Structure 1
Amino acid sequence: MDWSRVKNILIVVFIILNIFLLVYLYISHEESAISKESVAAVIEILGKNNVIIDRDCEIPTYKKNTPMLVFKNNDIDKKKIIEKLLGKDYATEEKDKEENENRIIFGEGLAFTYHNPNPSDDIDINKIKNMEKYLRDFFSGMGINMSQFILDRHIEQPENDMDTYIFIEKYKNYLVYDNRISVSITPGGIASIELNIRKIKGFTKKASPIMPAHQVLLKNFYKKKDITIKCVDLGYKGFENEYGEQETKEIFHGPAWRIITSDGTEVFLKAYDGEEIM
């Protein structure tokens, strides 16, 4: 066997294969790439109606086939939560618990609301980093793991001497908008909690094309006027109100673009077709 000839043939085959892979990668990049010109054109069109993209807002250029996210309901230790919020004397397994106007209402899985109209602690709410650590430790004391949650927004309400902290889970670089903890706190302590956390099982095997952010903005905002868009990001959002589903049932959320305007309004838009999630 002429090994030198075989060697030359293999070298040619590898060169052709590398050229093919380079061409394929180039074509794939071109098909998925979003030009700066197309984004700039949308910004210009929206600007004619005074729909302004804030200078600190970067419009994402993400355009990949994206799967859905699969959940199931979490288990919950109601006793531990009641002990933390109402004290050990009131730790029962009742669905709802109220004592001295403090109230906890449990939903399905790991979900509850808590209201305390007269908190009586002494807390310095003026330092955000300290408050974030305080709240993470507080929820850890209820057995709620916040390691995958980010502080999404901090809203000051000086007229009520109250701040609201909103935490959202982050899963593999995606925000999970409905896995959310909202806490309103005063110098006297925690006044209210709204918590809903479903257990993430993972992504579906099938991934579908999505509309890029600039096209979704154009579809939904080109007829609106006098709006400043502060933030555009991508995550997962339920398309329907699934509160009260059976615990064993799998729940699917789809990818969604979130638009936050200057007044704090959140608008959620399906990434698959750009339709608003009501």
Structure 2
Amino acid sequence: MDWARAKNIFIVLFFLLNIFLSIILIYTLDSDSISKDTIDDARQALAERGVAITCEIPHFNGSIGTLTYDDTSFNREIIVRNLTGSKQNGESILSTLDIKDESKELIFPDEYSFAFRDSNPEGLSAGLKTAEGVLSFVSNVLRGTGIPVTDYHLDIIEEKEGQKTYIFKQKYKNFWIHENYIVVELGDKGVTYIELRYRKIDSIINGKKVMPVYQVLIRHYDR
């Protein structure tokens, strides 16, 4: 027997076996996702019932747990200083919910959110022409506040009357956290409005199996 040739054959077979096992592993890990064909069939079934779905139907098919929160709030003093330039001390800031400084106004609706408006921004820089640039701008403004801006991802861009609005939402362990968001409005002169909500997530507990969205839709319209 040609052992050199046999050795090469074994190497090739071993390589192919690894590829096969990798494919099986990928499909196993992706078992929490509904197939595209199933979603397409559900969309067609709904259309036959006179229901037109114009948005994406989630592919998720797994367990969803309950969010638990760490009630630590962000550093309000740094937010005030970075956004308005105000030098108020910590005690006066904690007791003030509405801060005005010339063209700027900063409101704290609660301990987890704020809204900032500037009627006379400094200017529209080149870095604000993309969603990544806008998020980077917000990250720089909120540096030192304890808010993980990089955990936020673009959700939607809206344009109306020369104003462009970017909406970002937080992702935690591949889950969208819709209550934690950043809204940035851009005008001709620059950033005119920033609204943010961030409540720190501690963990996700007690996962429970949920019915896939397409099944909920079909059951609801199966009349």
Whole-angstrom CA distance in 2 between matches of 1:189 and 1:36: 41
Report sequence identity in percent. Answer: 26
Map of 1:137-176 to 2, 5 A cutoff? 137-140=140-143, 142-157=145-160, 159=161, 161-176=162-177
Whole-angstrom CA distance in 2 between matches of 1:210 and 1:143: 33
Distance 1:219 1:84, change over 3 A: farther
TM-score, length of structure 1 as denominator length = 0.57
TM-score, length of structure 2 as denominator length = 0.69
Map of 1:64-143 to 2, 5 A cutoff? 64-89=62-87, 92-93=92-93, 94-124=96-126, 125-140=128-143, 142-143=145-146
SS at match of 1:192: strand
The amino acid that maps onto 1:126 is K
Hey, what does 1:15 align to over in structure 2?
none
List runs of 5+ in structure 1 lacking aligned partners: 1-28, 224-278
Report Cα offsets for 1:157-212 as digits up to 9, x if no partner.
Answer: 3x2x22212121111111111111111122322211221111111012x2222110
Hey, what does 1:212 align to over in structure 2?
212
Kindly state the Cα deviation for residue 51 of structure 1 after the two structures are TM-superposed: 0.8
> Is contact 1:183-1:193 (8 Å) kept?
yes
CA RMSD of aligned residues (A): 3.1
Hey, what does 1:191 align to over in structure 2?
192
List runs of 5+ in structure 2 lacking aligned partners: 1-28
Distance 1:65 1:71, change over 3 A: same
SS at match of 1:107: strand
The amino acid that maps onto 1:117 is S
Structure with the larger strand share: 1
SS at match of 2:149: coil
Number of aligned positions between the proteins: 188
- The farther-off stretch of 67-76 and 33-42 is 33-42
> Is contact 1:71-1:202 (8 Å) kept?
yes
> Is contact 1:80-1:143 (8 Å) kept?
no
> Is contact 1:115-1:193 (8 Å) kept?
yes
Whole-angstrom CA distance in 2 between matches of 1:165 and 1:36: 29
Kindly state the Cα deviation for residue 213 of structure 1 after the two structures are TM-superposed: 1.8
Kindly state the Cα deviation for residue 38 of structure 1 after the two structures are TM-superposed: 5.0
Report Cα offsets for 1:120-164 as digits up to 9, x if no partner.
Answer: 32434433433332233223265532122222222233x2x2221
Distance 1:52 1:62, change over 3 A: closer
> Is contact 2:135-2:149 (8 Å) kept?
no
Whole-angstrom CA distance in 1 between matches of 2:115 and 2:207: 35
Structure with the larger helix share: 2
Whole-angstrom CA distance in 1 between matches of 2:143 and 2:112: 14
Kindly state the Cα deviation for residue 67 of structure 1 after the two structures are TM-superposed: 1.4
SS at match of 1:140: coil
Whole-angstrom CA distance in 2 between matches of 1:190 and 1:151: 17
Hey, what does 1:47 align to over in structure 2?
47
Whole-angstrom CA distance in 2 between matches of 1:122 and 1:40: 43
